[in-house]
Homo-oligomer: A and B are copies of this chain.
């Protein structure tokens, strides 16, 4: 259990068996069925979520009452609303499973204690945050520079596994286009 998390940490720092024992006193693990909520709106996002196995989406409801997906997460990805997490503020987002999923999570309080007890994990979480930030910068650049048609085609060729696993209308939402327009684009090809 926690195999993917341990592996991911070990990509960046070394862990002894005792470190792992410490770690496991602070994290929680839970299985979720498809379409269960990991975070509800106006909940506070007090956790960082790590997908051991499965698939999640993070979305909010826009002013037209439509779900707007901002992030997906699959095996070995972290996901969270960091504004809510950092500031102990209510979240505008929902985080929901798309498939049956196994999620490891750590609360902000426990992260704090864990990092005091095992300071070398600061490094791991710094790297995680640095990579998450880099990914957000990259996505933002793509959204600035590409037409929606190009963005769609680019996404499909960059992440073919998503196109398999995730319904088309969710990919449309993530890319900021309507399902109708995606249909049109697919017909074109």
Contacts and interface: CB of A to CB of B under 8 A. Distances in A.
Contact of A144 (B119, B137, B176): B176
A129 B136 CA distance: 12
A94 to B, nearest CB: 13
A137 B126 CA distance: 17
Contacts of A139: 140
A60 interface: yes
Contacts of A92: 141
Interface stretch (A78-86, A154-162, A180-188): A78-86
Contacts of A140: 70, 136, 139-140, 143
Given A62-B144, A86-B130, 6 more contacts: A70-B141, A82-B130, A82-B134, A83-B134, A83-B137, A136-B137
Contacts of A145: 60, 62-63, 68
B133 A82 contact: yes
